[in-house]
Amino acid sequence: MNHRSISSHAIAWAILALLGSLLTPTPGWALDPAREIHQYIFQTWRRQNGLPAAGISSIAQTGDGYLWLGTQSGLVRFDGVRFSAIALPDDSRFPRQMIASLASSRTGGLWFGLAAAGGFGFRDEQGEFFRPTGPAWLNTPANAVSLWEASDGSLWAGTNSGLIRYDPRNPTASALNAQLPAVRTMVKDARER
């Protein structure tokens, strides 16, 4: 072996060792467990410094990164810096602005439950609002306090009148099960039941 081949061989091994040490997984912590929570930088928002509504009833984050707040006066979108109040359309589909619950959609939109027997609605990524139009949905006495979108795209709503399953692809297959007592919250198991 000549001197040139030994040095290039040694350099190659040194580079591999350096890459190996950089790419080796090491444990990391989201927060340092030795620090108290007040030692971290945090921000509190109130009406005095930008929050457009008091009384937040629910929070959800959509796939585009926005944080959404449900309030007594409609939706509020937060981009990490600014709050934007978003009122529901002023028409018979949305008789009240009070939001009781929120759930992000896998399609990118946002489901919202309406308080005071208002049912539920949807806001897509373009800002268009939708609400089921059949009499069973417009006249439902449901206060949708809990929402969850299943992997098949159907919406499950826990209400003070029972459990609703709404399938946007087949609204006639949707149903309100009023035999259940008030459903306040829902969780899914590993098989999405």
Q: Along the chain (193 residues), what's the average pLDDT of each consecutive run of 10 residues?
A: 56 62 56 73 72 84 91 89 88 82 92 82 91 65 84 86 82 73 81 76
C-alpha closest to that of 129 among 174, 80, 91, 166: 91
According to the model, what pLDDT value does residue 151 have? 85
Q: CA–CA separation, 74 vs 77, rounded Å? A: 10
| pLDDT recorded at residue 176 | 72
pLDDT score for 8: 62
